[in-house]
Structure 1
Amino acid sequence: MTSNHSKISALLITYNEINHIEDVIANVRFCDEIIVVDSYSNDGTYEKLNEYTDVKVIQHKFKNFADQRNFAINQVNNNWILFIDADERITPELQKEILEKVSSNTQSVAFKFKRQFIIQGKKIKYCGFQTDTIFRLFKKGTTKYREDRFVHELPIIDGETELLNHKMLHYSFNDYESYRKKVEHYGKLKALELHKKGTQPNAFKFYSKFLYKFIFNFIFRLGFLDGIAGYNICKLNALGIIYRYRELKRLSVTPK
């Protein structure tokens, strides 16, 4: 029997994740509670979720990732929160490590996971992903996300943190076009964040950053060792800066 202090609530935020939703729900069955905050999906995700009698599903309008995650945090009932995206998976080794940590007398209140990026069955070892880590497990009441960070959200943690040993799997996209759309979406959110801070569009600055990001990840972070997949990923990640610039330019000329 799981003691109250070590019970875990799995949290997901979703939008149009019909290709992932069944697998990710099965993946977090070891948790004591599963809560999904859905941003009004229109691909059958919401309907599929409602087939589960033991999954709490809430629809909440999407403003940005930080707002959505903070809303989700407020819905949990247990002492530990495991955030997982629909395209992520907990390995058996990581699951064991998670359960050991939450049942121990650890002083840490938040845990960072390493992630293994995978595309079409191929593990991406470089392109900057070799140092990819993210906070995914924390005690209730110790963590919230900065409201001024709309994308690549940043948690504010009150207490000690720790990096776990085993990796989470990250199936970020099924094909390059879906990844391009994801990068474009993130770029637009980042542009809105910059616009609210008063940043002005500067073509030279943004196109220089595009070239720097591609060269840095493809050459210096060894993306070329991942072959054609590495080239495409580095190019798409760099394109996020161009999408950011275009959206910032549009926002700067849009009447308030």
Structure 2
Amino acid sequence: MISALAITYNEAHNIERYIKSLSFADEIIIVDSFSTDATEAIAKQHNVTFIKRVFDDFSSQKNYAISLAKHDWVTFFDLDEVIPEALSKELITTVESTPKEKAFLVNRDYHFMGKRIKYSGFQTDIAVRLFDKNHCKYNGQLVHEAIKTSAPIGKLKHHLKHQTYTDFDNYNQKLTQYSKLQAEALFKKNVRPNLYHFLFRPWYRFMHQYFFRFGFLDGKEGFIICYVHAFSVFKRYIQLWTMYRNID
């Protein structure tokens, strides 16, 4: 028995396909951050539990969804991830085999602007997507949250397709949200930005992804990804600087 969980905000363009891809699950629970598009209307056309909750951070939102699951084994896929039939079958057979592992990693094939990105830092893109809720929870990070567990972790054979790009503005908006949450985390740690953060950190991010992680081999798409990610680092510290300006 599997509970499929998801968190959403303005995912009308993905929600129909996503729910259909979860047909392997015994229940589907969606925790929505008060979407302003048709996400709710589309979701409620299907047999899902749809709950609204104010978004505070990714870990808290996902851990809340886990608390609603009826079954021990849960999946937590992102809305821009495509679950192939082979992976769906593997999820079911894995749970039915009562494995000693309590969490399973899945490789993600990253796609951007219609192209499969093989480098640019995404050649090792992997994340836990199936786990036993009794042994796992999200680690409390505001962004780039990850499953925390002391139990053994396995790895599934089949990959999923990470279709992150809908349009440039959407992608940039997503990175801006991440930058804001990362700035909030740094603010809580009393980190004050300086020229090192504004100049070196974005430069290093670009150099690391484009050269050290071979982003140049992904062509113009690789350059765009590396540039936008570097700029998101710059925005993180601009937002952090603004937070201090508001209290000084």
> When the two structures are superposed, what TM-score results if normalisation uses the length of structure 2?
0.96
Q: Which position in structure 2 is the counterpart of 1:78? A: 71
Q: Partners of 2:90 and 2:194 in 1: how far apart?
A: 46
Q: Partners of 1:182 and 1:207 in 2: how far apart?
A: 22
Kept after mapping to 2: 8 A contact 1:183/1:239: no
Which secondary structure state, in structure 1, belongs to the residue aligned with residue 123 of structure 2? Answer: helix
Say if 2:157 is the partner of 1:165: yes
Residue range with higher mean Cα deviation, 43-52 or 60-69: 43-52
Q: Partners of 1:118 and 1:251 in 2: how far apart?
A: 34
Which secondary structure state, in structure 2, belongs to the residue aligned with residue 254 of structure 1? Answer: helix
Runs of 4+ in 1 over 3 A off after TM superposition: none
Amino acid at match of 1:36: I
Q: CA deviation at 1:158?
A: 3.1
Kept after mapping to 2: 8 A contact 1:201/1:252: no
Q: State the Cα RMSD in Å.
A: 1.2
Which secondary structure state, in structure 2, belongs to the residue aligned with residue 169 of structure 1? Answer: strand
> When the two structures are superposed, what TM-score results if normalisation uses the length of structure 1?
0.93
Q: Partners of 2:187 and 2:219 in 1: how far apart?
A: 36
Unaligned runs of 5+ in 1: 1-6
Structure-2 change in CA distance of 1:200 and 1:112 (3 Å): same
Q: Which position in structure 1 is the counterpart of 2:134? A: 141
Q: Which position in structure 2 is the counterpart of 1:4? A: none
Q: Partners of 1:19 and 1:76 in 2: how far apart?
A: 25
Unaligned runs of 5+ in 2: none
Residue range with higher mean Cα deviation, 135-144 or 93-102: 93-102
Q: Which position in structure 1 is the counterpart of 2:211? A: 219
Q: Which position in structure 2 is the counterpart of 1:43? A: 37
Q: CA deviation at 1:114?
A: 0.7
Kept after mapping to 1: 8 A contact 2:179/2:236: yes
Q: Which position in structure 1 is the counterpart of 2:194? A: 202
Q: CA deviation at 1:121?
A: 2.6
Say if 2:90 is the partner of 1:97: yes
Kept after mapping to 2: 8 A contact 1:89/1:170: yes
Partner deviation per Cα, 1:138-179 (whole Å, 9 max, x = no partner)? 0121111122x1000132113110122221111112122211
Q: Partners of 1:207 and 1:173 in 2: how far apart?
A: 27
How many residues are paired up? 248
- How do 1:1-256 residues align onto structure 2 when only pairs under 5 Å count? 7-52=1-46, 54-147=47-140, 149-255=141-247
Report which of the two has the higher share of strand.
1
